[in-house]
């Protein structure tokens, strides 16, 4: 069942049930992506290196205005490469 509502000053918002597996954000800020990468790999990756990977395209990122986001799937790929000993 789909319900909808209108927030003041915004377009119509559809309040549908979330798709399966939703609970994790689909896009992460670089700070959160770096934090997750460090925890999952146990590595000591520096902030400048991580941002260099983002700017060079080694890690997929999306820019929305002044904001940068790292898709969850891109972070997962990077974590797998790190754990397998491959170069990112």
What residues does each domain of the chain span?
Answer: 21-83
pLDDT class of 72 with cuts at 50, 70, 90: very high
Question: In this predicted structure, what is the pLDDT of residue 13?
Answer: 44
Structure-model confidence comparison of residues 30 and 19, the more confident one: 30
b/e code 24-61 from CB counts within 10 Å (16+ = b): eeebbebeebbebbeeeeeeeeeeeebeebbeeebbeb
pLDDT class of 87 with cuts at 50, 70, 90: confident
Give percent of the chain above pLDDT 90: 61
Phi and psi at residue 72, to the nearest 5°: -60, -40
Please compute the mean of the pLDDT values over residues 66-82 and round it to a whole number: 94
């Amino acid at each position: 069942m789909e319900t909808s509502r209108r927030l003041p000053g915004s377009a119509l918002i559809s309040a549908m049930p979330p798709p399966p597996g939703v609970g994790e954000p689909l896009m992460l800020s670089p700070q959160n992506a770096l934090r997750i990468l460090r925890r999952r790999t146990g590595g000591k990756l520096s902030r400048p290196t991580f941002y260099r990977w983002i700017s060079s395209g080694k890690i997929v990122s999306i820019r929305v205005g002044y904001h940068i986001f790292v898709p969850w799937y891109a972070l997962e790929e990077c974590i797998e490469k790190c754990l397998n000993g491959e170069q990112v």
